[in-house]
Amino acid sequence: MDVRLSVLSKVGGRDRNEDACGYSTEGDTICCVLCDGAGGHGGGDVAARTAVDSVLESFASRPTATPDTIHTLIAEANEAVNRTQLSSRDLSDMRATIVVVALDANPGIAVWGHVGDSRLYGFRGGYIQCRTRDHSLVQSMLDAGYIDEATACHGPSRNVLTGSLGVRDGFEPEIVAQPLSLEPGDAFLLCSDGFWEYVDEREMESALQRASSPDDWLARMEHSVLNRGRKGQDNYSAMALWYGEVNLATQVVMR
């Protein structure tokens, strides 16, 4: 399978890392999942880890890259978080965001889905072609035209979610409608808000166009996170997926 992967997850300025991520490969198919937890008494890291474990275990039993599979993986992760909430009063308010992507190298397709404000970015030719839409109050205000992008990045409501794992009523993940047909040089970035908050989209593209590997790509972007992060900054996590020779494909179209 001509797919390369790199994973980064750091505590930032917090006492514990409430992000979690993981991946599983089955034949020509790879599934990657990233979660960002929230909740008192350590509930955030429990929610995130519970969701990641659920996705990877479920994927092992149905290793396919279809929209229905992604929907099932996320729905089962929500059920797992809900079950864990019932096990302890301290965990009753735990929540987590989630983003999942599955790539099948044969025939060469990708599908993804998410809940919350952990994001997936898709790149082709070194430039962003798609991005998940946050389930957040700020995103709703942006869509309605009440605020602009500059205000959204630093507004007081930036962390208020309108969707997450850990809810029992009205849960509905957002899933890409059709599989994306992959081309050599395609790349994907999964990341928590503690990462994308400090790396703008032009920087993501520039770093990709200059990177020699997925590890190098993440390291270049982490440099921005570290330079701009403030005292007590959030955990930050990212996963980079390359399909084919990304660096060769992107260098052709750099401008």
Residue ranges of domains in the chain: 3-253
Residue 56 to residues 10, 43, 112, 182, 219: CA-CA distances in angstroms? 21, 20, 14, 23, 26
Nearest 5°: the CA angle 48, 49, 50 is: 90
| CATH fold of the domain at 3-253 | Phosphatase 2c; domain 1 (3.60.40)
Give mean pLDDT in consecutive 10-residue pieces for the chain, a chain of 255 residues. Answer: 92 94 96 92 91 98 97 98 91 94 96 98 97 90 74 68 90 96 97 96 97 97 94 95 78 43
Q: What is the reported pLDDT for 248? A: 58
3-class secondary structure, 23: strand
Half-sphere exposure of 36 (CA within 13 A, CB side): 28
- By C-alpha distance, which of 53, 62, 44, 45 is closest to 23? 53
User: Using CA atoms, how far apart are residues 21 and 5, in angstroms rounded to an integer?
Assistant: 12
So what's the pLDDT on residue 196? Answer: 96
